[in-house]
Amino acid sequence: MPSPPGPLLICRVGDDRIALPSADVREVIPLLPVWRPPTLPRPLAGFINVRGEILPVLSPAALFAWPQASEPTDLFSHFVRLRGDAGDDGGAALCLLVDRVEDFVTPPAAAIRPVRDSATHNGTVAAEIVLEDGIVHLLSLERLLDEGERARIAALTEEAARRAAEWATGTPA
């Protein structure tokens, strides 16, 4: 039986629920305006400005092609800012757009059902967590994006930050 993953942040994305290891979560941010330049890949919802830092926003609903993929429509939507790819070691910042942040839970080992890597895209779902109110999918954040996708998001974020700086100062960055 697998060992408990520690505290998890439970989020709702449409009709689905996902779990993120709390060690991988830097902060939860209330809904902010999202800037979406044309030609972004569909899973990239756009960019937000958090205390002067431009952050890319990934839509799990669009990434996993869930049928309820849509824009946030109410004040309960949140951005979950993740730590860098390996715990703020310089990895790119990334936010996930979720419909609701529901709770922090620490599931017992008996509640964890491992998922084979081949059962999900790139092994993104590491386990199913069986809670009293239903099943939650534990995401493996290091498998959420491949290296090429990370590089593309980093380049797009750099360009978005350059444009934001240009608009803020009125001079080309």
How high is the pLDDT of residue 92? 66
Section 34-43 average pLDDT: 90
- The CATH code that applies to domain 8-169 is 2.40.50.180
Residues counted in the chain: 173
Q: Specify whether the CB–CB gap between 62 and 10 falls below 8 A.
A: no
How high is the pLDDT of residue 116? 75
pLDDT band of residue 1 (cuts 50, 70, 90) is very low
Task: Please write the tens of the pLDDT for every residue from 130-161.
Answer: 999 999 999 988 888 989 999 999 999 999 99
Q: Give the pTM.
A: 0.85
How high is the pLDDT of residue 86? 40
**Nearest in space to 132 (alpha carbons), one of 6, 17, 1:** 17
Question: Is beta strand 94-98 parallel, antiparallel or unpaired with respect to 78-82?
Answer: antiparallel
Q: Exposure of 144 by Cβ count < 10 A (0-12 exposed, 13-18 middle, 19+ buried)?
A: buried
Considering only the C-alpha atoms of the chain, give the largest distance between any 2 of them, rounded to a whole number of Å. Answer: 58
Count Cα neighbours of 18 within 13 Å in the Cβ-side half-sphere.
23
Section 21-49 average pLDDT: 92
Tracing tokens 């386990």 back to the chain, one arrives at 127
- Residue 101 in 3-state DSSP? strand
CA 109 to chain centroid: 24
Q: Which has the higher per-residue pLDDT, 123 or 157?
A: 157
Q: Exposure of 161 by Cβ count < 10 A (0-12 exposed, 13-18 middle, 19+ buried)?
A: middle
Q: Two tokens at 111?
A: 């509640």
Q: Specify whether the CB–CB gap between 60 and 45 falls below 8 A.
A: no
Q: Specify whether the CB–CB gap between 101 and 80 falls below 8 A.
A: yes
